[in-house]
Amino acid sequence: MILLTPGPVQTAPQTRAAMAQDIAPWDNDFRAVYARIRERVLALAGGVPGEHACLPLQGAGHFIVEAAIRSLVPAGGAIIVPMNGAYAERVLLLARGAGWVAHAWPVPDTRGVTAEDVEAAFAAHPEATHFATVYSETGAGIVNRPEIIGPVLRALGKRLILDAVSAFGALPFSMEDHPECDAVVFTSNKCIEGLPGIAFCVARVDALEQGRAGSWSLDLWEILNIALKSGWGSFRFTPPVQALAAFDVALDLFDAEGGQPARLARYRENMRILYEGALKLGLRPYVDQAEQGPIIVTLHQPPGFDLQGFVDALKARGVLISNFYTTKTPSIRIGCIGAITNAEMTQAVAIMGEVLASTTPAG
């Protein structure tokens, strides 16, 4: 099966194989593995030891987004969320659910945030302390670029929380180059091509404060505190040890491929093959080429389209895509990430063509 879903993604056999073992989290051999993973992740995020810390949390991406907002935005502080996608909506909802003040700033889901958007949003909400945005919007496939947003926030003296769940490892980002960033968050099962189970936050140490999170379980300060007291190989709660063992192998494969630039190049080419292939098949992309990011492609559903029927027909031919859409209007949602070669993407596009030809009424 060729899995073209934007997480969990297709993984390499070696990565999956690393899960087939029993592991005790407190075992000294495994503590060393875990401590090394944290070091590697910190380095990948451009973190400076002492200034930044890698703070893993059991669970899915939304948990770490919530933990970051709780642990880094002062109670009584307010965030602004530019609403250009389905994942931005979740950031807004989970921040409000946690009891924080969150302002929605309207931006269409077909383009990234501009410098003018950021300026206008803070002019409207000057009391807001943080801008919480999604790097790669896994809703429609656009990208909000930190190199555009960052300088505006620095000039305004505002802070950034970056949901890089579907970007980290593929799109470039360095905490050192973005002093306005309090936290970047991501999970094991997207562009690093690991298995689901663990989420990561790389945060500024000076932005964490005891008792701020208002949640005992989602408190990143406490995770840092335990690392400082008991070592970087120690856990607060039972971790998904198999997912971590697999993640370590996934990081080896990531390095062997050539790291972030090589991964981005492979994904970009997957996106190009898919985007141009879809145009040739008569499908209309949801996002203009200039705004199209490398992580997912969304295509307008043709009139009378049966999404589940299309998904089932593709699956019968060995290609699996999402059977739901995350755009404002109905779309077909296809991931470009995971352990998928350019040749496999070419093959997948050909299979899409076969399915469309067989289901389009003749004449």
**213 to 242, contacts with ligand PLP by CB under 6 A?**
none
Count residues contacting ligand PLP (CB under 6 A)? 11
Supply the DSSP symbol for 96.
Answer: H
Q: How far is the CB of 103 from ligand PLP (least distance, A)?
A: 19
- Rounded to the nearest whole angstrom, what is the least distance from the CB of residue 24 to ligand PLP in the complex? 26
Rounded to a whole number of angstroms, the minimum distance from the CB of residue 359 to ligand PLP is: 29
Amino acid residing at 28: N
Strand, coil or helix: what is 65? helix
Nearer to ligand PLP, 59 or 233 (CB): 59
Given the complex with ligand PLP, which of 203 and 356 has the nearer CB atom?
203
Are the C-beta atoms of 129 and 153 separated by less than 8 Å?
no
C-alpha atoms less than 13 angstroms from C-alpha of 174 in its C-beta half-sphere? 6
User: What's the closest the beta carbon of residue 100 comes to ligand PLP, in angstroms?
Assistant: 17
In the complex, minimum distance from the CB of residue 174 to ligand PLP, in angstroms, rounded to a whole number: 19
**C-alpha dihedral (68, 72, 77, 79), degrees to nearest 10:** -40
Contacting residues for 76 by C-beta, under 8 A, at least 6 apart: none
Residue type present at position 52:
H
| Residue with smaller CB distance to ligand PLP, 136 or 301 | 136
Q: From the CB of residue 205, how many other CB atoms can be counted at a distance below 10 Å?
A: 16
Spatial distance between the Cα atoms of 97 and 91, rounded to a whole number of angstroms: 10
- Candidate ranges 56-64, 231-239, 263-271, 333-341; the one touching ligand PLP (CB under 6 A): 56-64
Pair of tokens at residue 93: 């909802």
Round to whole Å and give the CA distance between 14 and 12. 5
* Distance from C-alpha of 354 to C-alpha of 314, rounded to nearest angstrom: 9
Report, in Å, the least distance between residue 29 CB and ligand PLP.
28
How do strand 198-204 and strand 52-58 relate by DSSP bridges? antiparallel
Distances (CA, A) of 108 to 35, 114, 293: 41, 11, 15
Beta carbons of 67 and 120 less than 8 angstroms apart: no
Q: Which of 47, 56, 61, 294 binds ligand PLP (CB under 6 A)?
A: 61
Which residue among 2, 7, 69, 200 contacts ligand PLP (CB under 6 A)?
7
For residues 187-216, which are near ligand PLP according to CB under 6 A? 187
Question: Which among 29, 3, 64 has a CA at the least distance from the CA of 248?
Answer: 29
Site string for ligand PLP, 76-105 (x = CB under 6 A): -----------x------------------
Residue 338 interacts with ligand PLP (CB under 6 A): yes or no = no
Of 36-44, 60-68, 122-130, 255-263, which part binds ligand PLP (CB under 6 A)? 60-68
The residue number whose beta carbon is nearest to ligand PLP equals 61
The residue among 139 and 233 lying less far from ligand PLP, judged by its C-beta, is: 139
Contact 300, 283 (CB under 8 A): yes
Whether residue 186 contacts residue 168, with contact meaning beta carbons closer than 8 Å, is answered with yes
* Closest distance to ligand PLP from the beta carbon of 32 (Å): 27
Considering only residues 132 to 191 of the shown chain, the ones binding ligand PLP according to CB under 6 A are 134, 138, 163, 165-166, 187
Choosing from 12, 23, 35, 60, the residue that interacts with ligand PLP (CB under 6 A) is 60
Binding residues vs ligand PLP (CB under 6 A) = 7, 60-62, 87, 134, 138, 163, 165-166, 187
